[in-house]
Every structure is written in C-alpha cells, then in structure tokens.
Amino acid sequence: MKYKVLFAIAVAFVAVSGFSFAGLTPAQAPEGARAYIISPSDGATVSSPVTVVFGLQNMGVSPAGVERDATGHHHLLIDVDAMPPAGQPIPADDRHRHFGGGQTQVELDLAPGTHTLQLLLGDHLHVPHNPPVASEKITIIVE
Ligand SMILES: [Cu+2]
C-alpha cells in the first residue's frame, strides 16, 4: 500500500502549495518516450494472479513526489475505456493503480473473463506527461 501513502503525500503537497489541479503544468515527455507491456502479451490466456511487467524506453522511472526531468512512475489502467484527462492527477482506485514506489511489475488478482490493461506514465504529481506516455491497450483472457 506504499503507493497510496505516496499518492496521499503528493496530494497533500499540492493542496498546501495552493496549486489547483486544473492549473497543473504536466511534465514534458522526452523525445521518443514509449511505455509498453512486456508481459502478458496481447490476446494471451492467463490465470490469476497475473504478473504484469512494465516496459519503458527513452525515459526513466522515479518514485512519486520526486521531480526529475524525463522520468515518471507507472500507472496501470485496468478495464478503463477512456484515458484519464490531461493536466490532472490520474485517479487512484482499483482500476487506476499507481506504482509510486517506482515498481516495474505487479501481481494482479483478476476475476475470470476478458480484461484490458494499459500503462500510463505520470509525473511526480501523478499527472500524465505532455504528450501522454501510454502503452497500447492489451486484452487478456483470465481463466
Ligand atoms: Cu501516480
């Protein structure tokens, strides 16, 4: 639950420093930045728990709360249809998972059925970069 604590700290920082969410300036995405899901592969049939491994090119991973150029932390969107809005922190709930500790993989408990997974990088304040660094959305079948 470390990511929830880090998220809370970042939200508290934003509140204290008086920024409004709408006024956040997203971090610039470096040239050629690319997020991708290393595994599972698109269309795979898997069993729960599912190990999801996050890939990132031309960009580094920093924990939430650490402001450093050309870095961010991973978010995994689970069964999310619409990309979270630009210029705002990515929601934190069961379908928008934050990896604010700088993690690059997760063991996911998923109910049997079809699910989609997509990565979205966020900056130190959990705001998607400009332009957003997101993976392709993959579909998996959980037995
Ligand atoms: Cu985050």
Q: Which domain, by its residues, includes 80?
A: 2-20+31-142
Which band of pLDDT confidence, cut at 50, 70 and 90, is reported for residue 23?
Answer: low
pLDDT at 74 over 80: yes
Q: Which residue has the higher pLDDT, 86 or 11?
A: 86
61: CA distance to ligand 1 center in Å? Answer: 12
CA of 98 to the centre of ligand 1 (A): 4
Q: Render pLDDT for 98-130 as a digit per residue (tens, 0 to 9).
A: 999 999 999 999 999 999 999 999 999 999 999
Q: Does residue 40 belong to any structural domain of this protein? A: yes
In a domain, 26, yes or no: no
Distance (Å) from CA 100 to ligand 1 centroid: 5
- In this predicted structure, what is the pLDDT of residue 3? 54
Q: Is residue 79 part of a domain?
A: yes
Q: On the CB side of 123, how many CA atoms lie within 13 Å of its CA?
A: 22
Contact predicate 130/86, CB 8 Å: yes
* pLDDT, position 7: 53
Going from the Cα of 51 to the center of ligand 1, the distance in angstroms, rounded, reads 19
